[in-house]
Amino acid sequence: MGNELLDKLAEVVVKGKIKEAKPLAEQALGAGITPQTVIFDGLSKGMEVVGQKYEKKEYYLPQVLLSAQTMYAALDILLPKLKVEEVGASGKIVIGVVEGDVHDIGKNIVKAMLTGAGMTLYDMGRDVPLKKYIEKVQAEKANILATSTLMTPTLAGMRELEKMLKEVGMKGPCKTMIGGGATSKEFAAQIGADAWGYDAIEAVKIASQLLKK
Ligand code: B12
């Protein structure tokens, strides 16, 4: 029963059946499936397929956009219901998608999980000029700067952010964590980021570790 609903949700994302997204998400919650499971084992699985279809040129941008909107419709229901175990580490986190990149679904899931875990989030949005991040980190005396990118060309922005943080004397007092499809643990080490996370579940673990340092 549970698996069927999750498969159906993945399919709805793949096909961009936007109207079915909310009712199905509600049905899944009603069936006792956790929001996390619905997001990671349902919606995200669908989005993986969308990515593969785009790579194979079976899908073009309008279809990808429709799938993204479908995922967002379901997330409207799911994100407010996310229950994350409080991790006993509180802190201020500035989060956003780096300049040049508009992919923000993953960032928004990460943000919801960190908020659920008891942290204070300052969401900068997507395609954000690097300077704005530094200004916000300084203004809020943030403990962590968390950035996301799914595109290779915009990786350079993350390297630049590390430099900019150093220049204003915040590298150290403010830890950095990065994630998103274009990033990797190796890349994080290369640029001197303090942590890298594969997904939103890991994001909570690494943020709490960074806050305890
Ligand atoms: C949906 C999508 C879009 C949507 C985005 C809608 C939106 N509001 O986000 C639209 C249609 C707008 C779009 C546009 C484009 N896209 Co697009 N898109 C995708 C697609 C299919 C899925 C991305 C997604 O939402 N995944 C689901 C979420 C939940 O996963 P996620 O983002 O990876 O996030 C998880 C983890 O990565 C992690 N995470 C994410 N951020 C962070 C941050 C931290 C700190 C941590 C710890 C963890 C973490 O946790 C998240 C949850 O678990 C990917 C394919 C793919 N394989 O990723 C291509 C993809 C990212 N797009 C791509 C491209 C090229 C584009 C365009 C340039 C296309 C074009 N020619 O115009 C434009 C981008 C324009 C721009 N300047 O940004 C390429 C990027 C290639 C590259 N390496 O550079 C990809 C990989 C497709 C491909 N194979 O070619 N796209």
Residue 66 is inside which H or E element, if any?
helix 61-78
Q: What range does the domain containing 135 cover?
A: 92-212
Domain count, the chain: 2
Domain boundary among 23, 52, 81: 81
pTM of the model as a whole: 0.97
At 131-147, the pLDDT tens digits run: 999 999 999 999 999 99
Q: Residue type for 155, please? A: L
At 87-121, the pLDDT tens digits run: 777 899 999 999 999 999 999 999 999 999 999 99
Q: How far apart are CA 8 and CA 10, in angstroms?
A: 5
Residues near 172 by Cβ (< 8 Å), separated by ≥ 6? none
Domain boundary among 81, 103, 119: 81
Strand residue runs (E) in the chain: 92-97, 120-123, 144-148, 175-179, 195-197
* Residue to substitute in 109, 150, 177, 184 for testing ligand 1 pocket (most ligand atoms within 8 angstroms of CB): 150
Which CATH number fits the domain that encloses residue 38?
A: 1.10.1240.10
At 3-19, the pLDDT tens digits run: 899 999 999 999 999 99
Q: How far apart are CA 203 and CA 197, in angstroms?
A: 5
At 51-70, the pLDDT tens digits run: 999 999 999 999 999 999 99
pLDDT at 129: 98
| Ligand 1 atom closest to the CA of 201, numbered from 1 | 53
Q: How is residue 149 annotated by DSSP?
A: -
pLDDT band at 28, cuts 50/70/90?
very high
The alpha carbon of 150 and the centre of ligand 1 are apart by a number of angstroms equal to 5
